[in-house]
């Protein structure tokens, strides 16, 4: 048989909304992300669909025999769902599929697809024998083999037609229409009758059994679940297989070293095969997403294989099994932490983000803005980067963030030391050992206190006494080649200029000072502990795959030290175990060396039990005048919803080439889908309102000279408070030297102008430049030529980029880190200078209020290395949707039409007035809002009765947070009837009365602690099947509660009933009174 495999020919066309640019040059370009010329638009993609089934046609007999495949062997269709392993041989058999399962691909060229040979373009299938070993293949004839037969009585006709209606289509003798809609012998196999079991070589196979299916000699047998037995109308006996994938059969390929060999992944691919293909029965165990490590270990030793995820081809997705495919085993995730702070978490608090390789903070800034617009308060608590100027910029714009200027590997070492320090100071419970150099006891502290007092009377010499510890780091801060754990010490009696870094072993005499520092840092979240982080984001640099590196290791890029940061990034994720992971990188991650690093990264995530998916997003598709394609990889723990990719919001001019094999990972619309997108943006939309400046502009701040002239300009000039700003930062260009400035001044101020317009340059018919022999070479006052030699020879004389002038109706391929005009088009349309830092920042979507720190070239570098803010904002919206449990099952979703906008955040969907010192009663008009989804009025001074008795509003509300106020009165019944309500936070108020019945089952979190609620718990609690957290701590609830009340709540992980007058009754009717 033939196992499904990946092939570009099987993919459904998809596209970005493309606008054809007015081309200025038609020669190849090398100074772009993809080293290609302007490329326009469609993309092909794999599409999820129904199972595809197939059978051999008689016309393929001769071809099959020539490949050594007998008639009795079955083959699979060229389906939408195909594997991504070894795609090296041509499909040798004709197949039959349902017309609705596979979309006919038009015979058009894709501008996205690179030129590749035939083996890359289509026909990428692997044809393998499936005849059972030690036995000759059976021919497909109307003769039953006594060793391989469908057994028992057939399933009743009525039941069979109900379960498998597609097998009983009247008027279709052997199937439905073929792939191209024409009458053909390739048809969906029609059934005469169905069976519930089969006997093959003495073994009885039942429906839902797992089995090995014969592969080619020397290959591992395929793995499947049997989901159908039937006899076709022509008498051939079939089973339908739903396939499992080994890790090496997925996009991961040969990077499966992080994944247990017994672990497989359930696919949605199904196809039909002759029953003589079955080899043996298997025991494959589904592992619940909340299984303990001990449970997994037990499973591994008592099964042939186990599975805890599905593998879906669209966007290379690994997704946890749905809840109904599992049973409760443990309240903990499979990604568990060794740290236990010993307290119930407040799920209403802000969500914490760690930004690794943060640069100036563009990615985390966008993520937080997007999450906040969806009603999730995501805050960048920690950031790490090696560039000191980038760290300074991040500190300036995010004073709430702990910014660390150090190697990521040193940061990881520090995190491990910090856990040990916290354990030594009894701040956390953990299986981690205390720090070997910190032993804190009361006796030692008292002795140290006494010694400190006596030391002041010592007149024999100067005694240095530790005043306080200021900072902690891991590394070699003193540059003495002695890496380790160091504390920054302020010496008693000395100022900050005398502060020094001291190793921990040099501070052995003052453990109390260390304990004070650690306790203070723990309280202030100085460093994250495992389980503290909600989101880790970052783009680990992989300079070893850069096109500028002529010595790239194509065989094993991970052996190149320049790519090791990918491992460091994943090691930090493995240590901290965040709920979500988002990694960004250049397209070379999946383009270079057969996508080595992209496959490796996915393997690391899946090996750590994270759900994962990978997509490519173009910045221009989210409202910027640049293309800039980047790879984004999501990860999520098994208990969370895996975030979706946001579909484009704008039309875009496409510039670049997408790797053919990963073309289907492009976040785009299906070909032919009707689009209602915002128009594409050009340079004029982004920059036309900015003041004119000279080449030598010295100011870092200046006023605006014009009002905004476009929606883009209006939005990007809004301050953090939603009001138009008045001060413009960083609007100054790189100052060109005298020679370059004089060259720029002679470039005509017209569209498409560049060095080719200078005297002495002639363009040949092949679009390459040469010197005009009739024109004497022009010299500058310095004696250097007006047209430099490097401009003439760049890309063999075929490029028009040197000293190129941009124009208002153009876009740029990507914002780069350098501002020199020698080999790129970066000159302002009307001014004799390169684009300023602020102009580049706008092309990246930075708000105008975002001020940068450092020398001019460093600021250009910060902007060029950043993630485009609108892309990060869209991903943040998606992330927040997942955090709230609202993500869909598909890999893509559409953003709101108004996204992004301050109005959406403040009025349309969310109301966030947390900690605003609000006084008095809540206005009754709030309860009549119809579109609001999220309402947060926590931590204010609100008082009085809060709820009306009836309301017709709030039907879209999914989160209501009123905690930490002085509200009173009863909670009306309509609160528990809101159709979409998922989170209810009313804790720390003065609510009284009894709880009404719960009439909806959407609630996930109920926080009612510290109120004055009374009476029995309503039995309707047992209907809240989605409930995960119920906290009724410290109320006046009373009565007996049978534990059966909670037996249906399979997802419940936090139940707090203490400090009430409740008695729990177990199955044996033994009462247990809670404290």
Residues labelled as active-site residues: 542
Give the whole-angstrom CA distance, residue 353 versus residue 340.
20
- Is-contact 23 235, C-beta < 8 A? no
**What count of other Cβ atoms lies within 10 Å of the Cβ of residue 556?**
11
Please give the C-alpha separations between residue 734 and each of 31, 581, 859, in angstroms, as whole numbers. Answer: 19, 36, 10
Joined together, the tokens standing for residue 106 give 């038009």
Give the whole-angstrom CA distance, residue 653 versus residue 627.
7
- Is-contact 473 456, C-beta < 8 A? no
- Is-contact 360 866, C-beta < 8 A? yes
First to last CA, the chain: 65
Joined together, the tokens standing for residue 545 give 């795959």
Burial code (b: 16+ CB inside 10 Å, e: under 16) for 353-383 equals bbbbbbbbbbbbbbbbbbbbbbbbbbbbbbb
**What count of other Cβ atoms lies within 10 Å of the Cβ of residue 1049?**
19
Pairing of strands 1061-1065, 1071-1073: antiparallel
The H or E element that residue 744 is part of is helix 738-745
Q: What single DSSP character describes residue 906?
A: I
Strand partners, 1007: 985, 1031
**Nearest 5°: CA angle at 166, between 163 and 168?**
90
Q: What does 261-320 look like in DSSP terms, one character per residue?
A: TTEEEEEEEEEEEEGGGEEEEE-EEE--TT--HHHHHHHHHT-SEEEEEEEETGGGEEEE
Three-state DSSP at 375 gives coil
Map tokens 């955040």 to a residue: 905
- Is-contact 45 698, C-beta < 8 A? no
- Alpha-carbon torsion angle 526, 528, 532, 535, nearest 10: 110
Q: What does 32-44 look like in DSSP terms, one character per residue?
A: STTS------EEE
Give the whole-angstrom CA distance, residue 629 versus residue 617.
6
Please report which residue ranges of 844-937 form alpha helices under DSSP H.
856-864, 869-883, 902-903
Q: What does 538-576 look like in DSSP terms, one character per residue?
A: E----GGG-TT-TT--SS-GGGSGGGTHHHHHHHHHHHH
Strand partners, 585: 631
**Nearest 5°: CA angle at 23, between 22 and 24?**
120
Residue 893, Cβ density class (10 Å: 0-12 exposed, 13-18 middle, ≥19 buried): middle
Q: What single DSSP character describes residue 834?
A: B
Using only the alpha carbons of the chain, give its radius of gyration. Answer: 33
Cis? peptide before 900, omega within 30° of 0: yes
Residues 6+ apart with CB under 8 A from 265: 244, 245, 246, 247, 250, 307, 309, 310, 311, 318
- Is-contact 74 130, C-beta < 8 A? yes
């Amino acid at each position: 048989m033939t196992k499904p495999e990946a092939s570009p020919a099987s993919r459904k066309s998809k596209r970005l909304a493309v606008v054809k640019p007015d081309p200025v040059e038609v020669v190849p370009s090398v100074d772009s992300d993809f080293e290609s010329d302007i490329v326009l638009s469609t993309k092909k993609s794999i599409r999820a669909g129904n199972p595809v089934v197939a059978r051999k046609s008689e016309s393929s007999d001769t071809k099959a025999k020539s490949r050594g495949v007998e008639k009795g062997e079955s083959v699979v269709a060229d389906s939408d769902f195909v594997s991504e392993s070894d795609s090296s041989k041509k499909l040798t058999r004709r197949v039959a599929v349902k017309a609705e399962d596979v979309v006919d691909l038009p015979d058009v060229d894709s501008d996205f697809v690179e030129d590749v040979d035939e083996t890359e373009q289509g026909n990428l299938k692997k044809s393998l024998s499936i005849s059972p070993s030690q036995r000759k293949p059976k021919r497909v004839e109307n003769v039953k083999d006594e060793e391989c037969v469908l057994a028992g009585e057939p399933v009743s006709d009525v039941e069979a037609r109900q379960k498998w209606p597609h097998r009983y289509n009247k008027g279709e003798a052997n199937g439905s229409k073929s792939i191209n809609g024409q009458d053909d012998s390739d048809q969906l196999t029609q059934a005469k009758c169905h069976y519930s079991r089969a006997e093959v070589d003495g073994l009885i196979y039942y429906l839902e059994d797992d089995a090995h299916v014969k592969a080619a000699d020397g290959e591992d047998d395929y793995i499947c679940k049997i989901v159908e037995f039937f006899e076709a109308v022509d008498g051939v006996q079939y089973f339908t297989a739903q396939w499992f994938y080994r890790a090496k059969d997925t996009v991961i390929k040969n990077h499966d070293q992080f994944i247990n060999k017994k672990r497989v992944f359930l696919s949605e691919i199904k196809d039909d095969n002759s029953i003589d293909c079955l080899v043996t029965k298997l025991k494959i165990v589904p592992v619940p997403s909340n299984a303990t490590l001990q449970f997994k270990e037990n499973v591994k030793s008592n099964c042939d294989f186990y599975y805890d995820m599905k593998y879906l081809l669209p966007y290379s997705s690994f997704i946890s099994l749905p809840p109904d495919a599992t049973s409760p085993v443990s309240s903990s995730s499979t990604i568990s932490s060794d740290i236990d702070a010993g307290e119930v978490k407040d799920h209403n608090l802000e969500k914490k983000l760690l930004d690794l390789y943060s640069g100036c903070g563009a990615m985390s800034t966008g993520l937080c803005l997007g999450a906040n617009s969806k009603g999730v308060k995501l805050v960048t608590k920690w950031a790490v980067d090696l560039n000191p100027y980038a760290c300074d910029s991040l500190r300036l714009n995010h004073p709430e963030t702990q910014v660390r200027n150090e190697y990521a590997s040193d940061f990881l070492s520090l995190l491990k030391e910090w856990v040990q320090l916290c354990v030594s100071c009894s701040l956390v419970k953990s299986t981690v050992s205390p720090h070997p150099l910190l032993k804190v006891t009361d006796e030692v502290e008292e002795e140290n206190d006494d010694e400190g007092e006596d030391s002041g009377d010592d007149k024999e010499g100067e005694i240095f006494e530790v005043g306080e510890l200021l900072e902690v780091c891991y590394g070699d801060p003193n540059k003495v080649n002695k890496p380790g754990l160091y504390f920054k010490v302020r010496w008693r009696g000395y100022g900050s200029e005398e502060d020094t870094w001291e190793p921990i072993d040099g501070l052995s005499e003052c453990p109390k000072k260390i304990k004070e520092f650690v306790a203070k840092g723990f309280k202030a979240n100085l460093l994250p502990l495992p389980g503290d982080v909600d989101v880790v984001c970052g783009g680990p640099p992989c300079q070893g795959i850069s096109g500028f590196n002529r010595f790239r290791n194509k065989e094993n890029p991970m052996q190149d030290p320049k790519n090791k940061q990918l491992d460091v990034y994943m090691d930090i994720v493995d240590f901290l175990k965040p709920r979500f992971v988002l990694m960004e990188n250049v397209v070379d991650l999946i383009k270079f060396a057969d996508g080595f690093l992209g496959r490796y990264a996915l393997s690391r995530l899946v090996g750590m039990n994270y759900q994962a998916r990978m997509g490519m997003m173009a910045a221009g598709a989210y409202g910027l005048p640049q293309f800039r394609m980047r790879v984004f990889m999501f990860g999520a723990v098994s208990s969370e919803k895996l975030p979706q990719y946001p579909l484009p919001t704008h039309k875009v001019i496409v510039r670049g080439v997408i790797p053919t094999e990963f073309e289907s990972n492009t976040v785009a619309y299906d070909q032919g889908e009707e689009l209602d997108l915002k128009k594409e943006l050009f340079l004029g939309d982004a920059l036309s309102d900015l003041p004119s400046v000279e080449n030598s502009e010295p100011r870092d701040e200046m006023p605006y000279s014009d009002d905004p002239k476009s929606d883009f300009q209006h939005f990007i000039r809004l301050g953090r408070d939603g009001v138009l700003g008045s001060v413009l930062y960083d609007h100054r260009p790189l100052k060109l030297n005298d020679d370059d400035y004089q060259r720029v001044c002679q470039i005509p101020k017209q569209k498409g102008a560049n060095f080719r317009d200078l005297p002495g340059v002639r363009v040949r018919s092949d679009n390459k430049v040469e010197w005009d022999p009739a024109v004497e070479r022009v010299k500058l006052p310095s004696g250097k030529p007006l047209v430099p030699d490097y401009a003439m020879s760049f890309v063999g004389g075929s490029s028009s980029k040197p000293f190129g002038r941009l124009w208002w109706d153009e876009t740029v391929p990507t914002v780069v880190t350098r501002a020199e005009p020698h080999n790129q088009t970066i000159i302002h349309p009307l001014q004799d200078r390169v684009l300023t830092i602020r102009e580049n920042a706008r092309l990246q979507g930075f708000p105008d209020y975002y001020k940068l720190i450092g020398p001019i070239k460093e600021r250009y570098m910060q902007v060029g290395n950043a993630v485009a803010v609108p892309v990060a904002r869209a991903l943040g919206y998606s992330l927040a949707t997942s955090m709230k449990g609202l993500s869909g099952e598909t890999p893509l979703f559409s953003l709101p039409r108004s996204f992004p906008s301050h109005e959406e955040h403040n009025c349309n969907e969310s109301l966030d007035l947390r900690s605003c010192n609000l006084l008095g009663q809540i206005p009754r008009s709030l309860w009549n809002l119809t579109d609001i989804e999220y309402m947060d009025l926590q931590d204010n001074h609100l008082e009085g009765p809060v709820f009306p008795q009836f309301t017709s509003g709030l039907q879209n509300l999914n989160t209501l947070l009123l905690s930490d106020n002085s509200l009173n009165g009863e909670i009306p019944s309509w609160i528990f009837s809101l159709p979409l309500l998922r989170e209810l936070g009313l804790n720390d108020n003065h609510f009284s009365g009894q709880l009404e019945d719960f009439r909806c089952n959407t609630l996930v979190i109920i926080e009612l602690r510290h109120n004055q609620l009374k009476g029995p718990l309503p039995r309707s609690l047992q209907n809240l099947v989605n409930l995960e957290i119920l906290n009724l701590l410290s109320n006046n609830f009373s009565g007996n509660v049978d534990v059966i009340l909670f037996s249906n709540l399979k997802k419940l992980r936090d139940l707090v009933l203490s400090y009430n007058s409740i008695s729990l009754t177990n199955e044996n009717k033994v009462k247990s009174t809670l404290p």
